[in-house]
Structure 1
Amino acid sequence: MADQYLSAFAVDADALLAVAGSGDDRLVRRALTAVGELREGGRLLRVAGPGEAEPVLRELVAGRLDPALPSRYTGVLELLGPVLGESLGSAVLPGRGWDGLAGAFRAWGLVNLAGLWGRPWPFPWREAAPGHDPWPFPVLAGRAELDLIHEELAGFDPGGIDAGSAVLPGGEDDVEEAEWLLAELLPAWVDGARGRGCELLLLRDGGR
């Protein structure tokens, strides 16, 4: 059964969006140089090597964007995130269906987190995403939204997950991972971005 991979980055969203059409050859070279170290550290899932990443990066900086291929560009966010921002960590959730957690979050009163989880960030476009979901699936929380999510998570009792396990993708089998996500991972990533005065980029990849 496929797993879902989560990667978190503290970023300046404007800096990432400014990559498109920037003509920034230096950024391309920086990103390609970072591939080896990131792969050795197990921090890249999609990017197999510089040769695979370079054509996509050059399309981005040239502004030659194909709206039919959003996943081509979100696939290099795992590389651009740590190059232009800072990695906050990663995790693996076993099994499929974790992309559908918005309903569970909403049922538990985590309405701002639910809104974030199901809303794709339109990178590399600024306003309108293409007509289909990208995969990898990026979500972006701005500073004000992070404050709201921080308050939600701080007031959430993970003990309620067990009683409400029916809304989880895998039911009772997913309770332990959901508690880990809501009690440890997300609070740490939200606070990591807030503490740096940044936005939070979450990248979901792997099995839907």
Structure 2
Amino acid sequence: MQMKQCVIFDFDGTIADSMWLVIAIYEEMFGAKVTEKQIQETRNLPLSKVLKQLGIPLWKVPRLLTSGRKIMRTRIEEVKPFPGMDEVFAQLKAEGYNLQIMSSNSRPLVRQFLKQHDLLQYFSDVEGGVGLFGKAPVLRKIMKHLGLTRAQVVYVGDEGRDIEGAKKARVPIISVGWGYNTPELLKSMRPDYYVDSPPQLVEVVRGLWKQ
């Protein structure tokens, strides 16, 4: 297989087990303690409803993202990849897939994380600074830059907004059940594929482009 088929990964909640840090950043920025019950409630809601529930207007989101990224930079060394994801990247890279990352975090921060966990070698590029609701345009940008058709691309993410973005870009989406949103919410939004484990993710990707 020539290196044409491209797997684009979301970062937080898909590769990086960072939900605990996002919660800590929220608590630091707003001075409010988040309970376990609130965490579970928000995991079962799309981001737009989470923001509404927290009383955060959309116009404040860019500024909050900027502040959150600054805090994230100081604590990124505490964040670990989800168990088994290193094997996913090693297997897919060895089989000739082009691996990319698309993240709302900054490109240098994502690359720092990948480097500290010896994962940078598996990825061709990182697209950082993506808006919370701006997945579709960036997916189209990556495809155009690489000269790929939609039939040569799949997106992997852990949130409802990943499903929405992929559908807008008309790119197949594999939703993973170990991230920010619950399996129940993800399945209700009807992704093209849903997986519960990293090994299952590898099998689904392989099945997309059987030789």
Does the alignment reach a TM-score above 0.5?
A: no
Kindly indicate whether structure 1 or structure 2 has the higher relative contact order, using CA contacts under 8 Å at least 6 residues apart: 1
Q: What TM-score results when the alignment is normalised by the length of structure 1?
A: 0.29
